[in-house]
A and B are shown apart, each in its own frame.
Chain A
Amino acid sequence: MEKLRYALFTGCTAKQSTPEQMMSTLAVADKLGIELVELTEASCCGASHLQDYDEFLSLVLNARNIAYAEKHGLTMVTICNTCQLNTAMTKHKLDNNSELKAKVNEKLAEVGLEYKGTSQITHFLYAIIDDFGLDKIKEMVVTPLSQFNIAPFYGCHNIRPSELQNETHKTPESAYRPTSLDDLIIACGGQNVDYEEKNKCCGFHVELQAPKTAAILTGNAIAGAMDGDADWMVTPCPLCHLKLDTQTHHASEAIGREVQLPVLHMQQMLGLALGCTPAELGLKHHVAKVDFV
């Protein structure tokens, strides 16, 4: 197989509140022989909030990020569901509205850039599944996670809206019956836990303005996984990870039940199965202690 190369859009959290996500992404890419060219020029995607204030600016900034991936002639790979949504949504809007694309390019021209629409955008989870292949992953597993019940938590912005899924991913999955994370858990040798909340919202985006709502949603998600007898949870979204890992005190208070589980990034789970060390995967950076390795 030809070596896979992607332009890596890290997003903001991988360089700050989830450093372990950056570490584990690089460790896993190294194990799989995937080359990641980091887009060091990229800015924040606006995280689903900037467009509430200024949609045009949000489009311009995201188009600039994609333009850098195009300069490399590579598919952009994201490691955050919300970065994935905002970037893919920008691409969708610009590729389907030539007038808007021209307006955005007028701005980008001021800094010598152009959005062409030539780069695809995918999340690392889907790059692994669609491009690398689960069969190859299975062959490379050196430490099967067979003793663990693992609860997948998909995060909204990878699975909804479906129309974006359908046009972005080679094998789009259902918003109501997603399978990618479950398939990856199984490929790593683990047992996937099925529970109602696995494709629900964690509440991250209203953490500041509606903390009670956010805490209940977080609590329900962890409680669902615990009731499904999960040993730990796994997610492809660092924002979901932050809610599920760091907000358990508020979540427990909100739903009147003690809830806490280790919550691993998708890359950390895969890394464990591929034989990466806990240090390489940054497992010490979790608030809900990862004490099973």
Chain B
Amino acid sequence: MEHTITTQKVKFKVFRFNAEEDYLPYYDDYEMEVTSEEVVLDILNRIKWDHDGSFSYRRSCRHGICGACAIKVNGRSTLACKESMNDMVELFGNELVLEPLSKKRAIKDMVIDKADFWDKHAAVTPYVVTDVDEAPEIENLVSPHDAEALDEADLCIQCGACHYACPVVEVNDDFFGPAAFAAAYRFEADVRDESESRLMDVNQMGQGVWDCVKCFECKEVCPKEIDPIGKITKLHQKLFQEGKAESNVATRHAVGFIHSIAKRGVLDEGGLVLYSEGPAIVKHLPVAFKMFTKGKIPMPWQLPKSDNMDEIKTLVKSSTTAKF
């Protein structure tokens, strides 16, 4: 089949900021004929080479391996060397906004300070912890079956696309973020690893895996299809399976569903909050009162119950695999 290269006109609004000179960022406008062969990185190159040599961005491998060139296009985290311009135009139309992954961390144009990303990466002990035999007689082999457990978490190129797309990272500087959790999972799942502390490090409230909002942004933007939220879920499960999940509001919230389902099939919403919060439930009373006055909290005798509860009770009893 004949391959035809097409062109189309695209307007670009490009974020500009030099931390050494500018008080506020501004945007430059460019209009270009873009070909169907080009990726976003080609546009960054053309801005620098054809329009303004001072324009700055990171790039290196051009093959989706180094992770240097991630930016945002119309708010979507994108690995510039991998993302086709055709797809971007199809998604957003002919007016595209090019911005750094994080505007608040911009140093110069598309170049950001990724120190927070690397600090969080380092904080999850991103390496195998084990006693190494310095003179092994045979190779330390990992079977294909055991390697499968990594679930491709080791394909992360640390581009930061998921990290700076994460809404929690945006509002909580302490939150480890999806990339660090994917790294934590990668080494937790490694059969050679003997770390005692990594899982507990990501188990923290306020920065750990329990603060993930489950919005799937990280899965959506990952250019290597690593599914960071899937790894976060596996870390949650691992904490329970290894008996390391401390009793706190987050862990009780996950476990509370079973109690509610076994009792009524559907949730007892108030009961779930009480089980999760314990005595701290009093802080919810003002909101609960408002809801009650609007008919949003049923009385205990009005709580719904699923039909065929015997089936649900049987299944909860026979299918539960976890213990808390």
Binding site for B on A (CB under 8 A): 12-13, 15-19, 40-44, 46-57, 60-61, 64, 107-108, 110-113, 156-157, 160-162, 174-177, 196, 200-201, 203-206, 208-210, 212-214, 216-217, 246-247, 249-250, 284-287
* Nearest CB of B to A47, in Å: 7
Most buried by B among A43, A161, A287: A43
Q: How far is the CB of B242 from chain A (nearest CB, A)?
A: 13
A79 → chain B closest CB, angstroms: 14
Closest Cβ of chain B to A8, distance in Å, is 14
Complex contacts, A160 vs chain B, CB 8 Å: 215-217, 219-220
Measured CB to CB, the residues of B under 8 A from A are 74-76, 91-92, 167-168, 171-172, 175, 205-206, 210-217, 219-220, 233, 236-237, 240, 248-251, 253-255, 257-258, 260-261, 265-267, 269, 273, 276-277, 286-287, 290-291, 294-298, 303-304, 306-308, 310-312, 314-316, 318-322, 324
Q: Inside 8 A of B212's CB, which chain A residues have their CB? A: 206
24 cross-chain CB contacts under 8 A: A15-B266, A17-B296, A42-B265, A43-B266, A43-B306, A49-B257, A51-B233, A52-B240, A53-B257, A54-B240, A64-B311, A64-B312, A107-B318, A113-B311, A156-B216, A203-B213, A206-B211, A209-B250, A210-B205, A213-B211, A213-B213, A216-B171, A285-B295, A287-B294
Contact in complex: A54, B298 (CB < 8 Å): no
User: How far, in angstroms, from A259 to B29 measured CA to CA in the complex?
Assistant: 34
Task: Closest B residue to A156 by CB, please name it.
Answer: B215
Which of A49, A51, A112, A200 is packed against the most chain B CB atoms within 10 Å?
A49
Q: Is the CB of A15 within 8 A of B91?
A: no
Q: In the docked arrangement, what's the CA distance between A263 and B287, Å?
A: 16
Complex partner residue of B214 from A110, A176, A205, CB under 8 angstroms: A205
- Min Cβ gap A254→B in Å is 9
List the 3 closest A-B pairs by CB distance, nearest first: A160-B216, A52-B236, A201-B215
Q: How many Å from the CB of B109 to the closest CB on chain A? A: 21
Give the residues in chain A near B298, CB-CB below 8 Å. 15-16
**Distance, CA A287 to CA B74, complexed state (A):** 34
